[in-house]
Amino acid sequence: MQDLAFHLLVFLFVAAFIAGFIDSIAGGGGMITIPAMLIAGIPPLQTLGTNKLQGLFGSGSATLSYARRGHVNLKEQLPMALMSAAGSVLGALLATVVPGDVLKAILPFLLIAIALYFGLKPNMGDVDQHRRITPFVFTLTLVPLIGFYDGVFGPGTGSFFMLGFVTLAGFGVLKATAHTKFLNFGSNVGAFAVFLFFGAILWKIGLMMGVAQFLGAQVGSRYAMAKGAKIIKPLLVVVSIALAARLLADPTHPLRIWLGL
């Protein structure tokens, strides 16, 4: 399975680079890499596991870029990242227990709501606003909950972290993006550990795509820091709507099955 044809390897490398670029700014890279691996003929379980491996490079690369420019303090935010990882571990372990069909059914509408919020809120920029809950409460509640979701299902995790940081923690858009990537790195680590335990990692493909993710995330994060909310907001809106549309277009989506569409 790891000895794919050269043109498929090139296809996966390009897909991972694009995913790294988009994910470092607005999240949603998984909606590119997961279908790409499935198209290449990789089985679903190995696709999910390998996606977490290559995703580590993208989220880690973006995190380092934002940290170097002072947009996130890794030492101060380490407890949040650990809570995100813990939630992701539980989510990955309990994936067979959680009603996945319900999550898949409501996710497109949650993503559309996020897109509308960021698209229609006029005064959202890079300046911090008033926070609604303390960092301690935020760390103990929303962070592990979103991390849990990432372990169970995954798509849209970055959008949910962004929404939480902006609406509850009062972060500006660029600062929220930087912190989102660190917590996304934590949730990737947690889920990766579970998939590693079950042997669902294709190492050669994952590492190759990881290099592409790393490079794409470097380009994307630097572009985001240069443009700030002017590029992050529109891309977040577009990615959220595109992900919602892709989920609803899937013939196996629970809502389409329930409605007979």
CB distance 119 to 233 below 8 Å: yes
pLDDT at residue 124 tops 60 = no
Nearest to 235, CA basis, from 162, 132, 168: 162
What's the whole-model pTM score? 0.77
Model confidence at 96: pLDDT above 80: no
pLDDT on residue 163: 82
The pLDDT of 105-134, averaged and rounded, is 69
Work out the pLDDT band at 104, boundaries 50, 70, 90. low
CB 215 within 8 A of CB 17: yes
Q: Could you tell me which residue, 13 or 117, shows the higher pLDDT?
A: 13
Spatial distance between the Cα atoms of 16 and 58, rounded to a whole number of angstroms: 9
Can you give the pLDDT at residue 166?
A: 84
Judge whether residue 171 has pLDDT over 60.
Answer: yes
pLDDT tens profile 125-153: 545 566 788 889 999 999 999 999 888 77
Do the beta carbons of residue 83 and residue 143 sit within 8 Å? yes
Q: What is the largest CA-CA distance in the chain?
A: 53
pLDDT value of residue 186: 93
Give the pair of three-digit tokens for residue 254: 């629970």
- Residues 6+ positions from 135 with CB-CB distance below 8 Å: 80, 169
- Between CA 19 and CA 32 the distance in angstroms is 6
Helical axes 142-152 vs 74-93, angle rounded to 10°: 40
pLDDT, residue 140, reads: 93
Question: Amino acid identity of 18?
Answer: I
Give me 45's structure tokens: 């379980």
In one-letter notation, the amino acid at residue 182 is F
